[in-house]
């Protein structure tokens, strides 16, 4: 009987959070190990389905870098990167679309549907959801004229149209979005999934943006997990080089997101099964939250 009572207490612990998030939108950036290991993929799909059934509106934005790299290698194409972004020529763009929209996106949709949800796969091209423009870089070296660096069809978000997501939300569908956009002339661009998730969270005025990563969250100089950070504290940790490497752009976009009206950003460890549920519906949580 004790273990059943303990389960009841766990459910009751979740109750105030369920009430608070009911009817709200949560944007989830899905990536890392949670997209690779079968156990974690199933757990993620179950978490998303549960959120929808209890009246919360999840929107999933996914990456797929390792999957793209694997297919490119099989096709004899070289993967090249500049400042962490995939150099995307025409052939690479074809692979990006094929893998993200044809393979990865549909696998996530299928997993959510099998878990009992109703998922629909989209890219930024559907319903003119995401418009983009080409990114270019200028490198300046002492004594030399500036050099323009062209990394191909890599873009940044210029406009987000939430109409199609609002329609799906009202019809109880879960949108699953591949980070591909288009410009006004119809040219397709490869987009950073973290940035797409942040822009969508801002555009939907979401309650939360959640990054599933292969890290526990943000750690301090003592290597201990920091449970909560204000936007200012987070930027200060970057200045002090306590936050470094690949975590820096996530933090910078987290700060931009909360400053533009999103309630909180969570950075959590997607290597833990049911990490979404543990972060959202328990008092302790498992990751780092960034607040305004």
Rounded to an integer, the average pLDDT of 207-236 is 92
In a domain, 127, yes or no: yes
CA dist., res. 49 & res. 55, Å (int): 10
Tell me the residue range of the domain where 85 lies. Answer: 21-291
Strand partners, 86: 81
In a domain, 25, yes or no: yes
Per-residue pLDDT band for 4 (boundaries 50, 70, 90) equals low
pLDDT digits (tens, 9 = 90+) for 20-74: 999 999 999 998 888 988 999 999 999 999 999 999 999 999 999 899 999 999 9
Q: What is the H or E stretch that residue 11 is in? A: helix 2-21
pLDDT digits (tens, 9 = 90+) for 74-115: 999 999 998 888 999 999 999 999 999 999 999 999 999 999
In a domain, 221, yes or no: yes
In a domain, 199, yes or no: yes
Output the average pLDDT for the chain: 92
**CB neighbours of 174 closer than 8 A, spacing ≥ 6?**
48, 49, 52, 58, 59, 60, 112, 117, 118, 119, 120, 168
In a domain, 259, yes or no: yes
In a domain, 216, yes or no: yes
240 three-class SS: coil
Q: What is the pLDDT of residue 10?
A: 72
Looking at the predicted structure, is the pLDDT value of residue 144 above 90? no
CATH code at 257?
3.40.1160.10
In a domain, 1, yes or no: no
Of the candidates 59, 19, 24, the residue with the CA atom closest to the CA atom of residue 164: 59
pTM passes above 0.85 = yes
37 three-class SS: coil
Beta strand pairing call for 188-190 and 228-230: unpaired
**What does residue 29 show for φ and ψ, rounded to 5 degrees?**
-90, 115
Total structural domains within the chain: 1
Contact 122, 164 (CB under 8 A): yes
**CB-neighbour burial class of residue 112 (10 A; exposed 0-12, middle 13-18, buried 19+):** buried
**CB neighbours of 93 closer than 8 A, spacing ≥ 6?**
152, 153, 188, 190
The residue behind tokens 């793209």 is 68
**CB neighbours of 191 closer than 8 A, spacing ≥ 6?**
124, 130, 132, 154, 155, 156, 157, 179, 180, 181
In a domain, 15, yes or no: no
């Amino acid at each position: 009987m004790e273990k059943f009572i303990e389960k009841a207490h766990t459910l009751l612990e979740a109750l105030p959070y369920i009430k608070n998030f009911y009817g709200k939108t949560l944007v989830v950036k899905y990536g890392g190990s949670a997209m690779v290991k079968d156990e974690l993929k199933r757990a993620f799909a179950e978490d998303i389905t549960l959120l929808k059934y209890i009246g919360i509106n999840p929107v999933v934005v996914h990456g797929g870098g390792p999957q793209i790299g694997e297919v490119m290698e099989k096709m004899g194409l070289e993967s090249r990167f500049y400042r962490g972004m995939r150099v995307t020529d025409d052939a690479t763009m074809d692979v990006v679309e094929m893998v993200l929209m044809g393979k990865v996106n549909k696998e996530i949709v299928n997993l959510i549907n099998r878990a009992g949800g109703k998922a629909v796969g989209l890219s930024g091209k559907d319903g003119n959801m995401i418009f983009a423009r080409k990114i270019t870089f200028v490198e300046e070296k002492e004594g030399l004229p500036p050099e323009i660096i062209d990394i191909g069809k890599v873009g940044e978000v210029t406009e987000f149209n939430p109409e199609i997501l609002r329609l799906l939300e009202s019809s109880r569908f879960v949108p699953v979005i591949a980070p591909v956009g288009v410009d006004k002339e119809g040219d397709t661009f490869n987009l950073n999934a973290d940035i797409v998730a942040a822009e969508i969270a801002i555009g939907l005025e979401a309650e939360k943006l959640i990054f599933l990563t292969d890290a526990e969250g943000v750690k301090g100089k003592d290597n201990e997990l920091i449970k909560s950070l204000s936007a200012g504290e987070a930027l200060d940790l970057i200045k002090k080089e306590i936050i470094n490497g690949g975590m820096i752009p996530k933090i910078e976009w987290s700060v931009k997101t909360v400053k533009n009206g999103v309630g909180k950003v969570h950075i959590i460890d997607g290597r833990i099964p049911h990490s979404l549920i543990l972060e959202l519906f328990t008092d302790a949580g498992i990751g780092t939250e960034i607040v305004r």
